[in-house]
Chains A and B, each alone.
Chain A
Amino acid sequence: MKNPIIALLGNPNVGKTSLFNRITKLHQRVGNYPGITVEKREGTVNANSKTYSVIDLPGTYSLFPTSLDEAVVYDVLADKRNKYHPDLVVVVSEPNNIKRSIILYQQARELGVPAIFVINMIDEIKEKGLEIDYDRLEQYLNTKVYTTDARNGKGIQQLIQAFEERPSHYVSRFTIEEKYQSALEEAKKLFPLHTEYQTWQFLAQDHVSFLDEKQRAGLKAIKDKHAFTFHELQKTEALQRNEQTSELIKDIIFHKDNLQLSATNKIDRILLHPVWGYVIFFALLFIIFQLVFTLATPIMDWIDELFASLIDTTAAVLPEGPFSDLLTQGVLAGIGGIVIFVPQIAILFLLISMMEETGYMSRVVFLMDRWLRPYGLNGKSVIPLMSGAGCAVPAIMAARNIENTKERLITMLVTPFMTCAARLPIYIVLIALVIPNETFMGFGLQGLVLNALYILGVLAALLSAWVLSKIIKTTHKSFLIFELPAYKGPDWKNVGYNVWDKTSGFLFGAGKIILAMAVILWVLGSFGPNDKFSNAESYVTEANPTLSEDELSEEVASYRLEHSFLGYLGMGIEPFVKPLGYDWKMGIGLISSFAAREVFVGTMATVYSLGEEVDVEDEEEQQTLLSKMRSEINRNTGKPAYNLASGISLLLFYAFAMQCMSTIAIMKRETGSWKWTIMQTVMMTGLAYVVAFIAYQALK
Chain B
Amino acid sequence: MQEKLSLTVLKIGEKATISAVNSEELPAKFLEIGLLPGHVIEVKHKAPFNGPIGLHIHSSNVLIALRKSEAEHIFVEK
Q: A residues engaging B (CB < 8 A)?
A: 61-62, 64, 66, 96-97, 99-100, 103, 128, 231-232, 234-235, 237-239, 242, 246, 255, 258, 261, 264-265, 268, 272, 274, 362, 365-367, 369-370, 373, 379, 477, 479-486
Question: Are A64's CB and B28's CB within 8 A?
Answer: yes
Residues of B within 8 A of A242 (CB): 31, 36
> Which partner residue on chain B sits nearest A272 by CB separation?
B45
Query: Judging by beta carbons under 8 Å apart, are A482 and B65 in contact?
Result: yes
* Cα A465 to Cα B30 with chains together (Å): 27
Q: List 10 A-B contacts (CB under 8 A).
A: A100-B60, A265-B44, A272-B45, A366-B47, A366-B51, A369-B47, A479-B27, A480-B67, A483-B64, A483-B65
CB distance from B42 to the nearest CB of A (A): 10
Query: What is the distance, in angstroms, from B7's C-beta to the closest C-beta of chain A?
Result: 12
Q: How many residues of B contact A (CB 8 A)?
A: 33
In the complex, number of A-B residue pairs with CB atoms less than 8 Å apart? 118
Q: Do B44 and A480 have beta carbons less than 8 Å apart?
A: no
A96 and B48 form a contact (CB under 8 A) = no
Give B61-78 as 1s and 0s: 1 = Cβ < 8 Å from A's Cβ atoms: 111111100100000000
Least Cβ–Cβ distance between A346 and chain B, in angstroms? 30
Closest approach, in angstroms, between the C-beta of A268 and any C-beta of chain B? 6
Q: Which residues of B contact A235 (CB under 8 A)?
A: 23, 28, 31
Residue of B nearest to A130 (CB): B61
Chain B, range 18-32, C-beta contacts under 8 Å to A: 23-24, 26-32
Identify the B interface with A (CB < 8 A). 23-24, 26-34, 36, 44-52, 54, 56, 59-67, 70
List the B residue with the shortest CB-CB distance to A482.
Answer: B65
**Contacts of B30 on A, CB cut-off 8 Å?**
481
**Looking at chain A's contact residues, is the secondary structure mostly helix, strand, loop, or mixed?**
helix
Provide the residues of chain B in CB contact with A486, threshold 8 Å: 63
- What residues on B are CB-neighbors of A274 within 8 Å? 46-48
Min CB gap A583→B, angstroms: 50
| Apart from the given pairs A274-B48, A481-B33, 4 other A-B contacts in the complex at a CB distance below 8 Å | A99-B60, A100-B34, A231-B24, A239-B31
Asked if A370 and B48 sit within 8 Å, CB to CB, the answer is yes
Q: Which residues of A contact B32 (CB under 8 A)?
A: 61-62, 64, 100, 103, 238
Tell me the complex Cα distance, A482–B55, Å.
Answer: 10
Are B62 and A96 interface neighbours, CB within 8 A?
yes
* Residues of chain B lying within 8 A (CB to CB) of residue A237: 28
Q: How far is the CA of A274 from the CA of B50 in the complex (A)?
A: 11
10 interchain residue pairs of minimum CB distance: A370-B51, A234-B28, A61-B32, A238-B31, A274-B48, A484-B63, A481-B66, A272-B45, A480-B67, A62-B32
Contact A272 B47 (CB under 8 A): yes
Nearest B residue (CB) for A239: B31
In the bound complex, how far is the Cα of B30 from the Cα of A62, in angstroms? Answer: 11
CB atoms of B36 and A369 under 8 A apart: no
List chain A residues, Cβ under 8 A from B31.
235, 238-239, 242
Please tell me which one of the listed residues B23, B26, B54, B61 contacts residue A366 in the complex, with CB atoms under 8 A apart.
Answer: B54
Bound: A268/B33 CA distance, A: 21
**A97 near B47: Cβ-Cβ < 8 Å:** no
Which residues of B sit under 8 angstroms from A370, Cβ to Cβ? 47-52
Q: Is the CB of A367 within 8 A of B47?
A: yes
Contact B23–A264 (Cβ < 8 Å) = no
Most buried by A among B28, B49, B60: B28
Q: Which residue of A lies closest to B69 (CB)?
A: A479
A265 to B64, CA, bound (A): 12
Flag if B27 contacts A61 (CB, 8 Å): no
Q: Which one of B60, B63, B67 lies within 8 Å of A369 (CB-CB)?
A: B67
Q: A61-B32, A235-B31, A238-B28 are in contact. Are A483 and B63 (CB under 8 A)?
A: yes
Q: How far is the CB of A203 from chain B (nearest CB, A)?
A: 14
Closest chain B residue, CB of each to CB of A274: B48
CB < 8 Å neighbour of B61 from A61, A64, A96, A379: A96
Contacts A62-B28, A239-B36 given; does A255 touch B47 at CB 8 Å: no
Given known pairs A66-B29, A268-B54, A274-B48, the reply for A479 and B67 (CB within 8 Å) is yes
Cα A258 to Cα B60 with chains together (Å): 11
Chain A residues with CB under 8 Å of B64's CB are 481-484
- Closest-by-CB residue of A relative to B36 is A242
Supposing A96-B61, A367-B47, A480-B70 touch, asked if A64 and B52 sit within 8 A by C-beta, the answer is: no
CA distance A261 to B64 in the complex (A): 12
Smallest Cβ-Cβ distance to A64: which chain B residue: B28
Q: Which of B46, B50, B63 contacts A264 (CB 8 A)?
A: B63
Q: Within 8 Å CB of B62, what residues of A? A: 96-97, 483
Q: How far is the CB of B44 from chain A (nearest CB, A)?
A: 7
Using CB atoms, name the residue of chain B closest to A206.
B27
* Distance in Å: Cβ of B49 to nearest Cβ of chain A: 6
